[in-house]
Amino acid sequence: MTTSLPTAEQLGALQRAVNLAEIEALGRARLDQNALDYYASGANDGHTLRANREDFSRLQLRPRMLVDVSGVDTRTSVLGLPLDFPVGIAPSAFHGLAHPDAELATARAAAGMGSVMTLSTFSNTPIDGVGQAAAGRLWFQLYLLADRELSREIIAQAEACGARALVFTVDAPYLGRRETNERRRFALPPHLSAPNVASRETLAGVETDTGSQLTNYFQNLVDKTFTWDDLGWLRAQTHLPIVLKGILTAEDAELAVQHGCHVWVSNHGGRQLDTAISSIAALPEIADAVAGRVELYLDGGVTRGTDVLKALALGARAVFLGRPALWGLAAGGEAGVRRVLELLRDEVRLALALSGRQNLAGVGRDLLRR
């Protein structure tokens, strides 16, 4: 298992960082333009990308006073897996653009912090290596491929490598138009591949004269015919819990429950349908529809411990980080991702205490101004 250790300068900068915005600045500074464009881009004009953050700031907390908060407890669980605090790593493609250790570093950091990593179908690292690094704290994200047999093989491999849940991304039959990637012809550098779905040779053969390499490859890869009626096929391929990632309406949340699936509220980091509702704005109606029958998660715009509390107050069991983990990875590999998680864990604990809540069970809608 390879490890590229951060320099003393990188470690010092990470330790001096006091919030996720400062980690983001460190990470951005270490990325080349190709990688930065890919990680930072949103769809079209970026309205949904911005709303994911801005809508958190519009929610106001109602703290209670004179509560014994000498022993605040941030622990929870997701699908039976204990977490030290209610934050996991969302699936993001191509961690190798940020750091040579790629998904291995992210998995080690998540495991070491008592969190959980969701590995993308479009990882730069094979599933088996990440499974070892994750030490039992691994979920696997699936794009349902037009080649059902290949999908079946990927699912079986994820199970064999220790994945504890199958996260099926439902909001990407096509990739949203990320104009920066199209304009600058995003492509993976020659030393990277997507071993779950494409070799270096395959990707090298994808043309970029008309835009993003990923978009051009993706358009013929994913099954665009898959509907709710096909979820029975997916269920037959795995014994793992299935989580549907990309749900934004009460109607689809109800269908997910009817099909025995857990629900992940997400708009793909603002990278799919621009002007779609933000994740946190969509959460209340979805929580009402789910009504506790399945577990409910959220990603999109989480950068503060108070954001975590707001999501939990509106019904999420845990939140997941996309870009913040990538900024940490770029800033210092495993140590950078770990620092992101440490900062957020400490902010969650402090926000709980200052809200007058002793544990996560005390976080409900009464915490928020109506």
17-48 pLDDT, tens per residue?
999 999 999 999 999 999 999 999 999 999 99
- The predicted pLDDT at position 143 comes to 95
Is 11 inside a domain boundary? no
255 in a structural domain: yes
List average pLDDT for each run of 10 residues in the chain, which is 370 residues long.
Answer: 80 97 98 96 98 98 98 98 98 97 98 98 97 98 94 97 98 94 91 84 66 83 95 97 98 98 98 98 98 98 98 98 98 98 98 98 96
Q: What's the number of domains the chain is made of?
A: 1
Tokens 């959460």 belong to 283
pLDDT of residue 210: 72
Pairing mode, strands 262-265 and 166-169: unpaired
Q: Does residue 369 sit within a domain?
A: no
- What pLDDT does 207 receive? 57
Whole-number pLDDT of residue 218: 82
CA 185: distance to chain centroid?
Answer: 24
Task: Assess if residue 276 is contained within a domain.
Answer: yes
Residue 177 inside a domain? The answer is: yes
Hey, which residues are catalytic here? Answer: 268
pTM: 0.96
Tell whether 15 is covered by a domain. Answer: no
**pLDDT at residue 220 in the model:** 82
| Contact in structure between 351 and 120 (CB atoms under 8 Å) | no
Residue 229 DSSP code: G
321 close to 89: Cβ distance less than 8 angstroms:
yes
- CATH (domain of 288): 3.20.20.70
| Dihedral angle sign, alpha carbons of residues 99, 104, 107, 109 | negative
Q: Tell me if 39 is assigned to some domain.
A: yes
pLDDT tens-digit series, residues 163-194:
999 999 999 999 999 999 999 999 899 999 99
Structure tokens at 91: 């699936």
Tell me, yes or no, whether 6 lies in a domain.
Answer: no
Q: What per-residue confidence (pLDDT) applies to 325?
A: 98
pLDDT at 199: 62
Residues 6+ apart with CB under 8 A from 264: 167, 243, 244, 245, 246, 247, 296, 297, 298, 299, 320
End-to-end Cα, the chain, rounded Å: 50
Domain that holds residue 146: 23-359
Within 86-189, strands assigned E span: 87-89, 117-119, 138-142, 166-169
pLDDT score, position 216: 84
Amino acid at 11: L
